[in-house]
Structure 1
Amino acid sequence: MSQNTGRNKGIQTIMILAIVLLLPGFLYVVLNKSGMANSYSTLPIYGEKKVPGTTHRKWGRDLMDTIYHEVPNLSFVNYDGKKIQLFEQDSAITVIHLFYSRDQSFSTTLINNLNKITGEFRQSPNIKFYSITVDTSYDSPEVVTKYIKNIDPSGKSWYFLTKPSSDIFKFAKDGLLQDALTTSDVNKPFVIGSSYVLIDSKRRIRGFYDVTMKKEPERLADEIKLLTVEEIRNHPAKIETK
């Protein structure tokens, strides 16, 4: 082996070592500056947004603060007579839909489809499901109990709510961004939205899932999981110290 060959191999070895040592740091700087670091799939936030002009720091960057639409925190009575505060658990992911027991169309379909989804998340107490009646004068806890006699919500975080602490129609329209109104039709006294509403732990709306579209319940289940990952990343579990 000539002296030049040995020198060339030595230079190549040094270059390879330099690349191995410097490349990770270089890539980190590039990704961080391009805004790609720590990126992951996320869901949109629905409703009116306001920008107050202030900023906060995240991942080493200053970001504009945004005030998002929040769903009001009402109290209700569950079908078993217990009082329920809608967002009592501030770490919960919530799914809400409207119904009324005299409705044989959307209400029945919404509840039947949700029955399958609640079963899938039976072991996830931080995921709450609320079926809320708009027929508050007729749908007493006793009536709702009879209405759901073929459904077993026990063992699930699924509640059938009536007797709201505030106007249910205002709550539906302004809070959930869903249709809810009375009609003069005796056979169909209410018009209600046909969607499930997905809400994060900050009471922000993250998705609408129309029951009239075949794949929407499946998409809801998938996006509950996606939102769960987002919540974990944004709110990592605190380690208790004694």
Structure 2
Amino acid sequence: MRIKTFLAAAATLAFAYACQSSSKELPIYGTKEPVEKTVDGKTVVDTIYHEIPAFKFLNQDSTFITNSNFENKVYIANFFFTHCPSICPTMNRNLFSIYEQYKGDNRLGFLSHSIDFKYDQPSVLKSYASKLGVTNDQWQFVTGSKADIYGIANAYLVYTAEDASAPGGYDHQGYLVLIDHNKHIRGAYDGTNEEQVKLLKKDLETLLASY
């Protein structure tokens, strides 16, 4: 996905969650495709919504995890790297506040993808998770090939890039992406912005209560 496409998607998400009301049902973000199907002999139009595709990554415990680890769960995903000198520390501290609030709640998971496929091996991710204060497997930190990690970022509508001119050598957005049981994107929030994190917490409560 090209940068302009990412920026357009980001602008759409930003506008959507800025204008979001206190409705009990959260919107579904991403592309949607109308399809015709036959029900009781009648042709009806259904909608296929954008979904996070199947994945397989190596986690901080050197164990492969897949999308099945998040089956029937709500989860929050983001993209970072352990030696990030800019937005990552704030983003992950804010995400940690949600982790602490829901620690041990098996309805909710956390999934952080490292975009530094060269340095952030499992042992590095393990140390990072420990220093952050993560003590259970509810929050997964994962690594993979550049193609796989950057490819899945596209699915989350999050811009990521290897960029020598960027702080730390990588450029990325600091979104915390809220995913529902059906792998649909239900919100994206600036993880460095306190008001956006508060909105995420509110929307998370709404989403969990809807199941």
TM-score, normalised to structure 2's length?
0.80
How far off is 1:186 after superposition?
7.2
Q: How does 1:72-221 map to 2 (within 5 A)?
A: 72-155=53-136, 157-163=138-144, 167-173=148-154, 175-185=155-165, 187-221=167-201
Structure with greater Cα Rg: 1
Structure 1 segments (4+ residues) deviating >4 Å: none
Cα pair 1:197 1:207 within 8 Å, conserved: yes
Query: Structure 1: 5+ residue runs without aligned partners?
Result: 1-39, 233-242
* Matched-pair contact (CA < 8 Å) for 1:76–1:163: yes
- Asked whether the 8 Å contact 1:153–1:159 carries over to 2, the reply is no
Conservation of the 8 A alpha-carbon contact between 1:75 and 1:165 = no
Aligned Cα root-mean-square deviation (Å): 2.3
- Give the number of the structure with larger relative contact order, counting CA–CA contacts within 8 Å between residues 6 or more apart: 2
1:188: how far off? 2.7
Q: 1:74 to 1:165 in 2, by over 3 A?
A: farther
Distance 1:104 1:206 in 2: 29
1:51 partnered with 2:67: no
User: Contact conserved, 2:95 with 2:191, CA < 8 A, in 1?
Assistant: no
Which has the larger share of strand? 2
Q: Distance in 2 between matches of 1:166 and 1:86?
A: 17
Q: Which amino acid aligns with 1:111?
A: N
CA distance in 2, matches of 1:56, 1:177: 33
**CA-to-partner distance for each residue in 1:150-197, whole Å, 9 max, x for gaps?**
222223611111125952112112x11010011122743111111100
Aligned residue number for residue 14 of structure 2? none
Q: C-alpha separation between the residues in 2 aligned to 1:157 and 1:229?
A: 19
Give the AA of the match of 1:221: K
SS at match of 1:53: strand
> How many residues end up aligned between the 2 structures?
187
In the TM superposition, residue 89 of structure 1 has moved relative to its aligned partner by: 3.8
One-letter identity of the residue aligned with 2:32: K
> Structure 2 regions of 5+ residues with no counterpart?
1-22
Amino acid at match of 1:91: N
Q: Deviations over 1:53-74 (max 9, x none)?
A: 23779xxxx9741000011121
Percentage of identical aligned residues: 27
